[in-house]
């Protein structure tokens, strides 16, 4: 089975996609993908070619992705919020010659600055799923084409330097959809796809997993609270794949009646603050199943089973994925102690595109090193403590910002909080807390510090506190700590 075979998992007459006023059955989805593959083949796309997809969420994204992969080519979803320079870098790095876009891109200058000689043909993605007269029908894939071949390259932002392209195979994704099948989606269910499809979490869970069981995808091209809430209510959404910031806004603006059709809520993309989780569950009577993953793991590593949540945990590791927690010497740590989470399994990427040394480092010993610090309880539930690179070392003590942030979120009036390491002449590093408050609220810093002193060791308490109107976020919903720190250091 290959990734594009997912479009045949639903009954032909069953609903496959809802995109605003448009509705597509599985048969109509299949016809649109065939039209797309024929058009792409006529444009010269063949096995192994990399094809960029630059668009907001839409049915056409799915048509394009499946059309590309059905030719044995490799889809490269690109964040539509990137600058021309950033897009040009991905084009050069991946060797993209064909782009499917929802708007014309002027990339000449950006490509020239990178000394990139590629000539990139741009095609309007809005017509890609419509048949075109007079073009040759694309041939079937060779019988020797394997599910171990790449089907997508997902560019990860990374912590420093240029983004890296995680090369994901057909088998990586299909295996990952089977690993999360215990979440219970089935025909007749409707999954909301409001997270960007260029991001692996939304793409694998809301699109691929949903198609794999013959259910329907309801697409929104962006998140706006009221439109999202009305869509959940009017479409009878059963599955929600969201991020913590969306959880918070749904709690603030939604009603229990709005959410009565929902059976499953999964939060991932970034750690879920306990306060947001507790407020959501108290209002709607719905547990949030937290998940954790990375682009390199296609992406799900852990996911909490429905009805079996544990406060603060992102769930057990998915079936058929080996894992362990190791210390700085590479030795496995006992249960309950913190260590770096490393994994090995069939959903782990093939490697980074054209980066053999980086791949070797990330996959040393045959294990993928996530770079995340975690602990595990006696039941195997994982608790992400922090990113290794986010850890603050103050007077020789390890301070994990997430632990401090969780306490700060409990203080009345706090809306968002980010603790970031800054230079300190005495301690080496110290924490700086950047926070925003709920509308109409005020926070007394002296009282906040006293609250933290009552709940944390003194060395964990931030040295500085900075009020911000709103904390910047990345396109995937994470608080953009790098951007905050850059502004702070100006």
| Residue 407 belongs to domain with CATH number | 3.30.300.30
Mean pLDDT for back-to-back runs of 10 residues, the chain (490 residues): 98 98 97 98 97 97 98 96 88 97 92 91 95 94 96 77 90 98 97 95 97 98 95 98 91 97 93 89 97 96 96 95 95 95 98 96 96 95 87 80 91 95 84 95 96 88 95 84 87
Of 341, 371, 389, the one marking the end of a domain is 389
Looking at the fold, whether 160 and 258 belong to one and the same domain comes out as: yes
Looking at the fold, whether 378 and 413 belong to one and the same domain comes out as: no
In angstroms, the Cα distances linking 182 to 218, 299, 303 are 21, 16, 10
- Asked, as a colleague might, if the bond just before 299 is cis with ω within 30 of 0, I would say yes
Residues 5 and 66: their CA atoms lie apart, in Å, by: 8
Looking at the fold, whether 40 and 127 belong to one and the same domain comes out as: yes
Looking at the fold, whether 361 and 409 belong to one and the same domain comes out as: no
CB 428 within 8 A of CB 385: no
CB 325 within 8 A of CB 341: yes
Q: What are the strands, taking DSSP E only, across 357-413?
A: 368-376, 382-387, 392-394, 397-399
pLDDT at 403: 87
Instruction: Domain of residue 11: give its range.
Output: 1-389
Residues 193 and 218: their CA atoms lie apart, in Å, by: 6
Q: Residue 34's closest CA among 162, 129, 109?
A: 129
Looking at the fold, whether 195 and 142 belong to one and the same domain comes out as: yes
Q: Residue 273's closest CA among 246, 234, 312?
A: 312
Residues 267 and 246: their CA atoms lie apart, in Å, by: 9
The CATH number linked to 297 is 3.40.50.12780
- Using N-to-C axis directions, what is the helix angle for 225-235 and 244-253, rounded to 10°? 80
Looking at the fold, whether 286 and 435 belong to one and the same domain comes out as: no
pLDDT at 160: 43
Q: How many domains does the chain have?
A: 2
Looking at the fold, whether 240 and 332 belong to one and the same domain comes out as: yes
Of 389, 416, 439, the one marking the end of a domain is 389
Phi-psi domain of 37 (left: phi exceeds 0; alpha: psi -120 through 50; beta: other): alpha
Q: What pTM, to 2 d.p., does this model score?
A: 0.86
Of 346, 372, 389, the one marking the end of a domain is 389
Angle, vertex CA 454, rays to CA 450 and CA 455, nearest 5: 120
Looking at the fold, whether 11 and 77 belong to one and the same domain comes out as: yes
Residues 471 and 149: their CA atoms lie apart, in Å, by: 40
pLDDT at 49: 98
pLDDT at 157: 65
How crowded is residue 312: how many other Cβ atoms within 10 Å of its Cβ?
17
Looking at the fold, whether 210 and 304 belong to one and the same domain comes out as: yes
Looking at the fold, whether 65 and 127 belong to one and the same domain comes out as: yes
β pairing state of 190-193 and 239-242? parallel
Looking at the fold, whether 385 and 395 belong to one and the same domain comes out as: no
CB 392 within 8 A of CB 326: no
């Amino acid at each position: 089975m290959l990734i594009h075979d997912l479009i045949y998992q639903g009954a032909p007459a069953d609903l496959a996609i809802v995109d605003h006023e448009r509705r597509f059955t599985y048969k109509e989805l299949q016809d649109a993908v065939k039209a797309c593959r024929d058009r792409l083949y006529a444009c010269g796309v063949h096995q192994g070619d990399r094809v960029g997809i630059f668009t907001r969420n839409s049915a056409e994204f799915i048509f394009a992705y499946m059309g590309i992969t059905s030719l044995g080519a490799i889809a490269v979803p690109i964040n539509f919020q990137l600058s021309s320079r950033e897009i040009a870098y991905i084009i050069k790095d991946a060797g993209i010659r064909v782009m499917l876009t929802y708007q014309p891109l002027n990339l000449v200058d950006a490509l020239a600055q990178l000394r990139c000689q590629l000539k990139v043909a741009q095609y309007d993605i809005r017509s890609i799923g419509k048949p075109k007269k007079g073009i040759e029908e694309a041939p079937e894939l060779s019988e020797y084409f394997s599910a171990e071949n790449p089907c997508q390259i997902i560019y990860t932002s990374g912590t420093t330097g240029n983004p890296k392209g995680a090369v994901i195979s057909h088998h990586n994704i299909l295996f990952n959809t089977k690993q999360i099948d215990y979440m219970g989606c089935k025909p007749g269910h409707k999954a909301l796809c409001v997270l960007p499809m260029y991001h692996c979490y939304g793409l694998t869970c809301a699109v691929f997993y949903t198609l794999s069981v013959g259910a329907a995808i309801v697409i929104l091209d962006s998140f706006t609270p009221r439109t999202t809430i009305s869509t959940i209510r009017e479409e009878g959404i059963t599955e929600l794949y969201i991020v913590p910031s969306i959880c918070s806004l749904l709690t603030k603006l939604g009603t229990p009646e709005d959410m009565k059709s929902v059976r499953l809520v999964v939060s991932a993309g970034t750690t879920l603050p306990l306060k947001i989780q507790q407020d959501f569950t108290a209002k709607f009577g719905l547990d949030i199943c937290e998940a954790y993953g990375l682009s390199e793991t296609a992406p799900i590593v852990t996911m909490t089973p429905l009805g079996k949540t544990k406060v603060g945990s992102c769930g057990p590791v998915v079936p058929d994925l080996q894992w362990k927690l190791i210390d700085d010497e590479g030795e496995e740590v006992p249960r309950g102690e913190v260590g770096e989470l490393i994994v090995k399994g069939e959903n782990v990427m093939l490697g980074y595109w054209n980066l053999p040394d980086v791949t070797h480092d990330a996959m040393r010993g045959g294990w993928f090193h996530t770079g995340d610090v975690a602990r595990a309880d006696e039941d195997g539930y994982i608790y992400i403590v922090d990113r290794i690179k986010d850890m603050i070392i103050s007077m020789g003590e390890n301070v994990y910002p997430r632990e401090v942030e969780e306490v700060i979120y409990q203080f009345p009036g706090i809306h968002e909080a980010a603790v970031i390491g800054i230079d300190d002449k005495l301690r080496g590093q110290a924490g700086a807390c950047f926070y925003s408050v709920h509308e109409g609220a005020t926070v007394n810093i002296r009282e906040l510090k006293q609250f933290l002193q009552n709940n944390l060791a003194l060395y964990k308490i931030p040295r500085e506190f900075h009020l911000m109107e709103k904390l910047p976020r990345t396109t995937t919903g994470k608080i953009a700590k790098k951007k905050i720190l850059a502004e702070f250091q100006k």
